[in-house]
Structure 1
Amino acid sequence: MIKLIKMPKLSANMESGLLVTLRKQNGDDVQKGDVLFEVETEKVVSEIESEEDGKLVKLYFREGDNVKVDEIIAEIEIAE
């Protein structure tokens, strides 16, 4: 099963966020709670964590990309 990781809305007026750091790359195993990436908004840098155990199978963006809220950033194949 594939879990889509989307850009979260971190504030009421947030329209997009800057991917500052990708902590995981294609093919990396991830555990629930692992930091996947860091997002910078106008006011803060936030760490976005995995909600599932699995393997990161696809990244849609690179560090430095500006990503709109709800756009897919990555796919994780869920461990079953």
Structure 2
Amino acid sequence: MMKKQLTMPRLRPEMTKGVLAAWLKEPGEAFVKGEPIFEVETDKVVNQIEADWDGTMKSQLVEEGDEVQVGDILAEVE
């Protein structure tokens, strides 16, 4: 199976960075398209981010609480 990467999404046009508030899936856990897999905090609003595809979390490259630029890689999935 091919590895894919989860990146920090741009939730608003002016957004340049966000805080990874929480991981909802741990390494080794499978998920399906549409299932929440992590939370992003911007300006005190927390957004659940849903999977765009079915997969399995392989490695998390960012810790909860880290500030991340839009487009930066958060995790690798298969």
Do both proteins adopt the same fold according to a TM-score greater than 0.5, normalized to the shorter chain? yes
Question: How big is the shift at 1:44?
Answer: 2.2
Corresponding position of 2:14? 13
State the distance in 2 between where 1:24 and 1:68 align.
21
State the distance in 2 between where 1:51 and 1:44 align.
21
**TM-score by structure 1 length?**
0.89
Corresponding position of 1:64? 65
**TM-score by structure 2 length?**
0.91
- Aligned-residue sequence identity (percent) comes to 43
Q: Name structure 1 gaps, 5 residues minimum.
A: none
Counterpart amino acid of residue 45 in structure 2:
V
Q: Secondary structure at the match of 2:59?
A: strand
Which is further off, 35-44 or 59-68?
35-44
How many residue pairs end up in the alignment? 77
Corresponding position of 1:31? 32
* Residue 41 of structure 1 pairs with residue 42 of structure 2: yes
State the distance in 1 between where 2:13 and 2:52 align.
22
